[in-house]
A and B are shown apart, each in its own frame.
Chain A
C-alpha cells in the first residue's frame, strides 16, 4: 500500500455525456482537454505534454479514422506523437496503460491520455452493427449475435449456475440511475424503480432496455506524470499504484467459463499485487457495467464477493454511495452513459474527483483507495487500475 506510485494524475477532464447534436469527435475532445488544462493551471500544455494516447473504437460513426493525430491538433498539441489504442469499449483503459508505459520508460515525463466516441447521430441498428464489430466475426456476428446478446448469454449461464435472478440484475440499474441523478455530467439524471427495469422491453433475453448502457456521445482525458514531478504541477495529485491488463479469446464460445471474465481476474490479480492491496481495502470502484449483469460479474471477478454472490451483494445495498464499497458513483455506463472509447478514462476521471474531494453530491467520505475496471467487447480485453489519494 505504501509502494511508490507508477505515475501520478495531475489533471482530468470530461465533456458532458449525452446527445451532442452537431458536434464532431474532435470538438467533443476539445471540451474534455480544456477542462483538464484548467484543472492544472501550472501545466504548460504545449511545452510539457510529450505524447498523447487516445482510446477510440470506431471510424464508421463519422467516417473518420486516424483519430489520435486529429485530436492532438484539436487539443492544441499538434506536433507531439499521438497514438490510438483500439480495444473496443476498453480502448481508453488500454490507452491509460500505454501512457503509463510511456512515462515509466522515461521517454515522456508528462503525457495526456483520453478517449472519445460520437454515436448518437447513427440509428440504433447502425450502432448495434458497429459495436458488434468488437466481437468475433466468423462465429458470432456472422450468426446474428449482438453485444447485448453476448452479455445475455453470460447472464443466462450465471442465473443457471447460481440462481441469480432478473430482479437482482435489475437492482444494478436502480442503483446506478440513483448515482447518475447526482452527477450533473451524466447522460440520464433520473431515478428509476425496479418496476421501470422489469417492465421494460427485452433487448436480448434476459436483458431488458434498462439493463443496457446508453448510446452516448462523450470524451474524457487525464494528464499523467512521474510521481516525483507531480508536486511541481499540483498539490492534489492522485496516484496510480497498480495496473493490470489482460486478454482472452475473442469468441465467448471458446472460453472455459461463461459466467465470469478470466481477463478481469488476471488483470485484477496483477494490479492488486503491484499495489500490495487486497480487495477488502478498496474504498470505491468504477466498474464496466455495459450491461447491468456485467457489474455483478465484476464484483465477483474483482474479489468484492465470492463467485456466485454478486446478485446478493447488489441486493444488500452495500454498493450504494453510503455502503461498504460504493460502485459506480458516477452513474456507471448505465446512467452516466457509454461513449465506448471515452469510458475507460471517464472512470479514471470519476475516481480523480472522488480522491480529491471534488465529487460534490456523490462524494464518498474518507475515500482513499479506488479501483477501475474497463473491459473491451465481451471480455477479450480487461484493464484494471488502482488509485490512491495524496494524503
Chain B
C-alpha cells in the first residue's frame, strides 16, 4: 500500500468509494486509528501506514430513528448501530436488511461498501451501511 495518501477523513472516504475499509496504524506506538488521523493522540507521531480492516462487525448497541433530519426523512424509521470490528475498532452506521424487531446486541453484520454516493457539494463522501 502506498503511503502517499494523507491520513485524513477525506482519504478514509476515498477508500470507502473504492470499496476498502482502511485504518491508519501509528509506526511509532502501533496504535490503530479509525478514522485515520494525522497526529497520533497517544505518542504524537505523524508517521502511519494504512491497514486494511475487515468489514465484519458485531453490534454493540442500536436504535431506530423515527424523527429524522430533513435529509433522512424519506428513510425513517431507520436503524442505526455501533459496531465493533477487529482490533477493537468501532464505527457507527445505518443497518439495512434486518427487521427492526430482530435487532439484537451481539449479532454479526457486514459492512456494505456499495451503498449510495452523496450528491451534495460538500462533502462528496460515499455512505456505507451494515447488512446481514
Enumerate chain A interface residues (CB-CB to B < 8 A): 124-126, 128-129, 132, 138-146, 148-149, 152-157, 160, 201-207, 251-254, 258
Could you tell me if B69 and A204 are in contact, using CB atoms closer than 8 angstroms?
no
Q: Which residues of chain A are near B93, meaning CB under 8 Å?
A: 143
Residue from B64, B70, B92 within 8 A of A205 (CB atoms): B64
Closest 10 CB pairs of A and B: A152-B63, A205-B64, A157-B61, A144-B72, A129-B69, A253-B92, A202-B66, A156-B61, A253-B82, A203-B67
Chain B's closest residue to A129 (CB) is: B69
Docked CA distance A201–B69 (Å): 17
Docked CA distance A149–B9 (Å): 23
* Additional A-B contacts beyond A160-B105, A258-B82 (4; CB < 8 A): A128-B69, A145-B92, A160-B61, A253-B90
B131: Cβ under 8 A from any A Cβ: no
Q: Closest Cβ of chain B: how far from A338's Cβ, in Å? A: 16
Could you tell me if A139 and B91 are in contact, using CB atoms closer than 8 angstroms?
yes
Could you tell me if B127 and A146 are in contact, using CB atoms closer than 8 angstroms?
no
Residue from B62, B66, B92 within 8 A of A143 (CB atoms): B92
Q: Which of A132, A144, A155, A253 has the most CB of B within 10 A?
A: A144
Q: Which residues of chain B are near A251, meaning CB under 8 Å?
A: 92
5 A-B residue pairs with Cβ-Cβ distance under 8 Å, sorted by A, are A139-B91, A142-B123, A145-B92, A148-B65, A153-B62
Q: Closest Cβ of chain B: how far from A254's Cβ, in Å? A: 7
Q: Which residues of chain A are near B92, meaning CB under 8 Å?
A: 139-140, 143, 145, 153, 251-253
Number of interface residues of B (CB under 8 A): 32
Given A149-B80, A153-B82, A204-B64, also A253-B91 (CB < 8 A): yes
Residue from A129, A132, A143 within 8 A of B80 (CB atoms): A143
Enumerate chain B interface residues (CB-CB to A < 8 A): 9, 13, 35, 60-73, 75, 77-78, 80, 82, 90-94, 100, 105, 123, 125, 127
Docked CA distance A141–B71 (Å): 10
Residue from B67, B73, B127 within 8 A of A148 (CB atoms): B67
Could you tell me if B68 and A146 are in contact, using CB atoms closer than 8 angstroms?
yes
Given A145-B80, A145-B92, also A128-B67 (CB < 8 A): yes
Residue from A129, A139, A156 within 8 A of B63 (CB atoms): A156
Could you tell me if A154 and B66 are in contact, using CB atoms closer than 8 angstroms?
no
Q: Which residues of chain A are near B100, meaning CB under 8 Å?
A: 205
Residue from B90, B94, B127 within 8 A of A254 (CB atoms): B90
Docked CA distance A202–B67 (Å): 8
